[in-house]
Amino acid sequence: MRTLRKYGPLYVMMVPVVVYFLVYAYYPLVRGLQTSFQDYRLMGDRPYVGWSNYSAVLHDTSFQEALVNTFIIGGSILLIGFAAPLVVALSLNEVLQAWYKKLAQMVLYIPHLLSWVVIGGMWIFLLSPDNGLVNLLLVKAGLDQPVNFLADPGWARWIMILLAVWKDMGYNCILFLAGIMSINPSLYEAARMDGASRWQQVRFVTLPQLSSTMKVIFLLNTLGILRIFDEVFILRNPTTAPKVDVLMMYTFQKGMVDIQIGTAAAASFFVVLLTLALTLVVRWVTRFDEV
């Protein structure tokens, strides 16, 4: 009773959050699990159908394609989106003029601030074969045929990957820079005493000291692989769909367009399971807990 009087107000403060999570995080999970075993109709009864939704998903070739696309596109974004900002952060760190460094950071961060609709809309226009800036420049540079980047299945995946890396470049870069800033300056001093060159200081001081930052960034970005949706939703079209539709796109298509809610719920659960599996693998590989 005394505890209740002492801590009562605190529990009251927690109530809205608990209610919200119960309704919007836990209940949907349960409800989704239930739905994935149902023949879910919008009207009428919803008979249980066992595992048939799951097996329908697994045998669906477009699901298999979506799985492959997710790992190719997501995996490439993960790797290139890790390496490129690291290189840029190291490069920024070598800039001595403070104003130039600040300016570059500011400019590089802008695309991350904008939505995929804006970024996608902009690039659809920039990459258009008729009067897009990129093709105008390419033709001027001597290319005889403008390339229809977004309608060409060969290009579409690369566009998705590169745009995602480009968009989040500044964001990841600032994370790396924060890591670099926290390296003890006396390490560089000691390295210089030993006659280390500029490159050797990067190689033997900065990079090893940055390893824990790298692990954190890699872990944070890994979970993004399965969440890719907005970009694909905006930049896809029927020609490129088999090469770029990712898992979330498949779920959306099944649930909201084909109205096969049971199947879509089953597909959602594959995504949830994959998320958990991926988290565990990354934790194990990077030994996150030691950080």
Out of 58, 136, 151, 282, the residue judged to bind another protein by CB under 8 A: 136
Decide: residue 11, CB within 10 A, 0-12 exposed, 13-18 middle, 19+ buried: exposed
Among 71, 279, 282, 283, binds another protein (CB under 8 A): 279
- List, in sequence order, the alpha helices (H) in 141-240: 153-181, 185-193, 198-201, 207-209, 211-222, 230-235
Question: Rounded to an integer, what distance in angstroms lies between the CA atom of residue 240 and that of residue 160?
Answer: 11
Could you say which of 41, 51, 68, 133 contacts another protein (CB under 8 A)? 133
The one among 47, 55, 64, 137 contacting another protein by CB under 8 A: 137
Measured from the CB atom, the residue of 223 and 281 that comes closer to another protein is 223
**Sequence-ordered list of residues with C-beta below 8 angstroms from that of 165, at least 6 positions apart, any chain:** 77, 80, 81, 84
Q: Are 156 and 243 in contact (CB under 8 A)?
A: yes
Secondary structure class of 48 (helix, strand, coil): strand
Which of residues 110 and 143 has its CB atom nearest to another protein in the complex? 110
Mask 185-214, x = binds another protein (CB under 8 A)?
A: ---x---x-----x--x-------------
| Contact flag: residue 165 with another protein (CB under 8 A) | no
Binds another protein (CB under 8 A): choice among 55, 131, 200, 211: 131
User: Segment 216-275, which members bind another protein (CB under 8 A)?
Assistant: 216, 220, 223, 226-227, 229-230, 233-234, 248, 251-252, 255-256, 261, 264-265, 267-268, 271-272, 275
Residue whose C-alpha is closest to residue 40's, from 268, 267, 269, 263: 263
